[in-house]
Amino acid sequence: MNKARRAQLIEASHQIRDLLEQIQSLQEEEQEAFDNLPESLQQSQQGSESEQAATRLNDARDALEEAISAVEDASG
């Protein structure tokens, strides 16, 4: 791999890390919002949607971490 492509991959990795931080922050906020709901609301449709959103954001976070690892591996 030449230097130009390696530099592009490193930049892409930094951009993915920025996205990861944003997703992580949103996931933590959504989880906190769910945790702060009264138990009766946690069992409601609203609570279920909030919990699912937090779970999906966590899944997205995991995928971004894998993407970062793959890009870093590719860049050597």
Q: What mean pLDDT is predicted for residues 53-68? A: 96
Whether residue 10 is predicted with pLDDT greater than 90 in this model: the reply is yes
Share of the chain above pLDDT 70, in %: 100
Size of the chain in residues = 76
User: Distance between CA atoms of 50 and 28, rounded to whole angstroms?
Assistant: 12
Q: What single DSSP character describes residue 44? A: S
Whether residue 12 is predicted with pLDDT greater than 90 in this model: the reply is yes
User: Distance between CA atoms of 47 and 62, rounded to whole angstroms?
Assistant: 23
Structural domain boundaries, residue 69: 3-75
Residue 75 pLDDT? 87
Residue 66 pLDDT? 97
Q: What mean pLDDT is predicted for residues 20-34? A: 97
Contact between 76 and 9 (Cβ < 8 Å): no
The mean predicted confidence, pLDDT, of the chain is 95
Q: What is the tally of structural domains in the chain?
A: 1
